[in-house]
Every structure is written in C-alpha cells, then in structure tokens.
Amino acid sequence: MTTNDELATIEIRCIPDNPFAISGVLNTKKVRFDIETKTKGATITRTPLNLVLVLDRSGSMEADDKLTFAKKAVASVLNLLHDDDVVHLVAYDTDVSIIFENARASSRQHLYPIIDEIETAGSTNMADGINVGASLLEKYVYAGFS
C-alpha cells in the first residue's frame, strides 16, 4: 500500500546535444533525459511491524559456530527495528520454545541477554517452529501493523 508519505514529485529535463536546429526540415538529435525525484518535504514513516523470528537451535547448529552467527543475526534484526515494532522469538530443536513474545523493540537491551542464553540441543523440528511462530502472529494482532 502506498501512502502520501511515499509519493514524490518528478522533474524531467530533456537536454539536446546541440541546442540549434535547421528550420523547416526534420532534424535528428541526440538528447539526454534527466529524471529527478523530490520528496514533498514530508517525513517518511513506515507502518510498525509485528515480527516473529524463528531460530534453529538444533544440534546441527553447533558446528562451525552456526548458532552463534544465527544469534548475532537475531540481534542485528533487533537493532534495525523501530522502537514501536513488536517482536517475538521462537526457537526449535526437537521441542519448540517461545523465547519471548509480544516484546517491543524498545526493550532490545533486555532481550540481548535472553538471546545469548540459547543453546543447541536435539533434532530439527522446523515445521513446528514455524507453526508456533505463525500462531503468535494470530494471537497478537494489532491494527495498523504490518
């Protein structure tokens, strides 16, 4: 959906390689088109997010520091979120756990230590991890959120 904040004006300029032409005959010219977009001065705001992250913590994630990198990726996502965004974290191995739910991104400093505590275990139960993540989006529905 496009909002007024996402719209911009367009300015198009046509610049011939030579500003002169012979009068009364068909002239062929090379031209350059300059296209410039300008915002209307409005602050561009995006719709707040309601985001579920689903993390594989199964035993295979122990090799090559995969879980360490995955946890860093989760922290990076938290850093990119706006303070009014809502985030949930689900982790799966053989079992599925909701690590945190319905957390505002503004509380990210409290969430980092929780993420750091996640350890590898068990087998890969990705389907249930995704299902639990989807159920959180159904449980926490906010008007005006993406």
Closest CA to 134 of 79, 90, 71, 75: 90
10 Å CB burial of residue 110 (0-12, 13-18, 19+) is exposed
* Residue with token string 């915002």: 39
CB atoms inside a 10 Å sphere around CB 19 = 7
Q: Is residue 86 a contact partner of residue 106, using CB atoms and an 8 Å limit?
A: no
pLDDT recorded at residue 25: 86
Q: Domains, the chain, ranges and CATH?
A: 4-39 (no CATH), 50-139 (3.40.50.410)
* Residue with token string 């990726």: 73
Supply the pTM of this predicted model. Answer: 0.71
For the chain, residues with pLDDT lower than 50 are: 1-2
Q: Tell me the C-alpha distance between 58 and 95, whole Å.
A: 9
Q: Tell me the C-alpha distance between 99 and 118, whole Å.
A: 9
What are 18-40's pLDDT values in tens digits? Answer: 888 888 888 887 888 888 887 76
pLDDT recorded at residue 16: 84
Structure tokens at 47: 């719709």
pLDDT recorded at residue 43: 60
DSSP letters spanning 80-115:
HS-TT-EEEEEEESSSEEEEEEEEEGGGHHHHHHHH
pLDDT recorded at residue 1: 43
pLDDT recorded at residue 2: 45
